[in-house]
Structure 1
Amino acid sequence: MPDVSERYLQQWSKIEDVDDGMKPGVTQADTAELREAKKRIRLLEQENESLRRAAADLSQASLPK
């Protein structure tokens, strides 16, 4: 058996207990889902900012000179 520290085993056991619903906490699946949601939010915010800039540019271009 590879040399695995007691602390690592305890940590792994706690993660498994949370994932199995035996202990309260955030599951690995929830953590991954939250990470993906935050990534999607960042992307949408960037797209929104690009659209704002494009709209501002278009409104400036349509002003009479």
Structure 2
Amino acid sequence: MPQHAQNTRVCRDCDGFPTVAITTGTRHADGTRATFRVTCPTCKGTGYIAPASVLARAGR
């Protein structure tokens, strides 16, 4: 019998990948690439968003 997964609300802006490493195009002295991390501003790095009903109650 198949198991049903929970329907989690994935962030629509980052599609569930809240933190990414972006290369700057330069390299360090040891040959590794220089990168920096960027987090999704919408979900603040969680990858999920709150349901609309929660957001509506918070605005009252």
Please say whether Structure 1 and Structure 2 have the same fold, judged by a TM-score greater than 0.5. Answer: no
Q: Higher helix fraction: Structure 1 or Structure 2?
A: 1
Higher relative contact order (CA 8 A, sep 6+): 2
Q: Higher strand fraction: Structure 1 or Structure 2?
A: 2
Based on CA coordinates, which of the two structures has the bigger radius of gyration? 1
Q: TM-score, normalised to structure 1's length?
A: 0.24
